[in-house]
Amino acid sequence: MRGTAPRIVIMGTGMGALGAAHLLQAEGLTPALFDQLDYPGGHTASHTVNGFIFDEGPHVSFTKDQRIKDLLLANLGGEYETIDARIDNYWRGHWVTHPVITNLRGLPEELVVKVIADFVAARQGAPVEIRNYEDWLVAGYGRSYAETFPMQYTRKYHTTDAANMSTEWVGPRLYQAKLEEILTGALVSNPPNIHYVQDYRYPKKNGFAEFLRRFHERCDIHLRHKLIRIEPKARRAHFANGRAVDYDHLISSVPLPDLIPMIDGAPREVREAAARLACTTVVLVNLGVARPDVSTSSWTYFYEEEFPFSRVSFPRNMSLHTVPEGMSSIQSEIYFSKKYRPLRVSPESLIQSTIDGLVRCGILRQDDTIVLRHAQVVEYANIIFDLERAPALAVVHGYLDEVGIGYCGRYGDWGYLWTDEAFMSGEGAAAKALGRRAA
């Protein structure tokens, strides 16, 4: 090791990488961050298109961790909005508050009766073996609700069946309702809101990326550096622009299927394991509408296959500064995956089908003037927790531990991490690196 401080290199500039940099800076160290893009932020970047600001999918801060909350808000200097979450669902002409299970009132009576009867039967039946996500859903909600809502949504959002998924990712994302809550939601018009997102914070200006700007300003960032090769024995990283850097510790937020083939000497079984890791690709269809009131919702879930999108969000309802005056914007998410549902059409071809679907459900009017039509592909979106993930990930992470390469963030941990969890993941990777240094 040269000098008194180790040379620490971080691949990426998103939430995971910034968490690692933050902890290292607190220890008096100055890591170097490298990003292949010409702007920082990775998946948490915000993009301006003809005066409209769109994040890469709906990003909001609803962390319950007070330390992370304070860090993020300090970056904004008070320039943020606190917004009551308005989250709903569209199903066969019905608009239903989220989650559906505790807001059944107004749905077809036959369905409501079946859902409640199946829920009771599932809870009173003998315990069943939980082998996959489908088993978990049926055991927790009953067959009628499971098949009508979450299993259908799984096919659209995760691009595979619930029977092919584990339950490791669920956490608080699916509420385990009590019978009293279900009955209340079936009988009264305004049941209590029990969703895990009650309210959220969002920057007043510049989109979600404004949360990260001051982190970036404090970092030694090198853009336009696409990683192409790592020599773990020599501790050297190579970039497509011809530059090579030596390191004492390397922390990466690069997606694991991309990272492993870059490592000199990576064994075949590790490469094969990395190739089995599955992730969705999302096509974001971003629309600007010459009307300020297209929706009062933060975001809406769609279950039926006739709608290409699984979720639609409304940036104007997060901040008025995301749109030109008098306008609205809509962002629709359409999911694909290399492993289960490859993207075989042009992203632009999905714009009109999205508009048609928004008209059918009533979000858009026939006479609306659409002033912006834009499609963006995000190659890595959400981790798919299929049944191959856990054993494959154990092989990949075990190898990275052996060669001394740290990993963090959604695509380094290969987990379903929210932004606060990604930041803490980076802190954990940095702490691990410091532990190796102390040893």
Could you read off the pLDDT tens digit of each residue along the chain, which spans 439 residues? 344 678 999 999 999 999 999 999 999 999 999 999 999 999 999 999 999 999 999 999 999 999 999 999 999 999 999 999 999 999 999 999 999 999 999 999 999 999 999 999 998 988 889 999 999 999 999 999 999 999 999 999 999 999 999 999 998 778 889 999 999 999 998 888 887 788 999 999 999 999 999 999 999 999 999 999 999 999 999 999 999 999 999 999 999 999 999 999 999 999 999 999 999 999 999 999 999 999 999 999 999 999 999 999 999 999 999 999 999 999 999 999 999 999 999 999 999 999 999 999 999 999 999 999 999 999 999 999 999 999 999 999 999 999 999 999 999 999 999 999 999 999 999 999 998 543 3
User: What sign for the dihedral angle of Cα 81, 84, 85, 88?
Assistant: negative
Between CA 194 and CA 317 the distance in angstroms is 21
End-to-end Cα separation, the chain, in angstroms: 14
| DSSP structural state of residue 176 | -
- pLDDT at residue 436, as a whole number: 55
- pLDDT at residue 4, as a whole number: 62
Q: Which helix (H) or strand (E) holds 20?
A: helix 15-26
Q: Are 30 and 169 in contact (CB under 8 A)?
A: no
Q: Please indicate, yes or no, whether the overall pTM of this predicted structure exceeds 0.75.
A: yes
Phi and psi, residue 163, nearest 5°: -65, -15
| CATH code of domain 8-44+208-276+387-438 | 3.50.50.60
**Closest Cα partner for 221 from 12, 8, 44?**
12
Map tokens 């963090």 to a residue: 408
Between CA 367 and CA 365 the distance in angstroms is 5
CATH code 3.50.50.60 region(s) in the chain? 8-44+208-276+387-438
Q: Residue 203: is the preceding peptide bond cis (ω within 30°)?
A: no
**Closest Cα partner for 12 from 337, 429, 385?**
429
Phi and psi, residue 311, nearest 5°: -150, 145
Q: Are 154 and 382 in contact (CB under 8 A)?
A: no
* Beta-sheet pairing, 405-407 with 249-252: parallel
CATH code 3.90.660.10 region(s) in the chain? 60-98+195-207+280-379
- pLDDT at residue 413, as a whole number: 98
| DSSP structural state of residue 85 | -
Between CA 266 and CA 232 the distance in angstroms is 10
**Coarse DSSP helix, strand, coil percentages of the chain, rounded to the nearest 5 percent:** 35, 25, 40
**CATH number 3.40.50.970 is the correct assignment for the domain at 60-98+195-207+280-379:** no
Which residues are CB-neighbours of 132 under 8 A, at least 6 positions away?
Answer: 162, 163, 164, 165, 166, 167, 387
**Closest Cα partner for 188 from 294, 105, 271?**
105
3-state secondary structure of 117: helix
Sheet with 220-222, side-by-side order of all strands: 220-222, 32-34, 8-11, 249-252, 405-407
Between CA 268 and CA 208 the distance in angstroms is 40
Which residues are CB-neighbours of 384 under 8 A, at least 6 positions away?
Answer: 158, 159, 160, 165, 278, 279, 280, 337, 339, 340
